[in-house]
Amino acid sequence: MSILQFIFYLGVINIVFNFVWKWIVVLPFSLLFAVLKIKNGIYLFKAIGSYLFVSLVVILTLLITQDANLFLVIVIPLIGAFILYMSSASTSYELRKQAYMHCDIELMRALRYDSLFIIGSLILFFVAIFFPIIIYNPVTVYLFSVVDWVYNFPVIGWIVAIGGVFFLLGIIWQGFIMSAFFIEALTNKLSKEHEKPS
């Protein structure tokens, strides 16, 4: 599998996972948590979602680099980590935009720890590359088989793959915007600490 095919495959992972996770799992349980007034439910779903998404990217990365040359062994994980970061940052950007639009104070508070989830996802990615046992389980293997089925399905697989690339481009753009927000917030925090009288 070439680098281009790897990117197409990552696009399929993003589309399939985002659809299954957000609409079939997160949305119903979010409504349930809202009814039951469980405030910290979002953290649980973010942790589980991050783990599953990282697992899918790691499984694909390991499959491609298994018999690859040294160049791909180095480049493929870096591309995977880049897309993983951009996808997480893009999701954070969408949630922040939604929170500000609807003046959702609870969601704004919950998003305070998004940077930690993003960093945690990247750490898990690189650790799992060397210790894949932590991401291989019946759930992740089944999810990957679903993604693989979509990717290899005649005609539809290519349509989803091409759509996935455009989806990735949108994710990368939003990821850069969110990165700018993170850098600005960090810069403001450091400048405020520097201005404090000693």
Residue 182 has a CB neighbour count (10 Å cut-off) of 14
User: Is 95 in contact with 118 (CB distance < 8 Å)?
Assistant: no
Examine the pLDDT at 180 and tell me if it is beyond 80: no
* pTM value > 0.85: no
Q: Which two tokens stand for residue 33?
A: 């948590």
Mean pLDDT for the chain?
77
pLDDT tens for each residue of 31-59: 666 666 666 667 777 788 889 999 999 99
DSSP-assigned letters across all residues of 122-160: HHHHHHHHH-GGGT-SHHHHHHHHHHHHHHHSTTHHHHH
Distance CA 81, CA 43 (A): 22
Distance CA 132, CA 134 (A): 5
Least confident of 19-33, 51-65, 97-111, 113-127: 97-111
Mean pLDDT of 81-94: 77
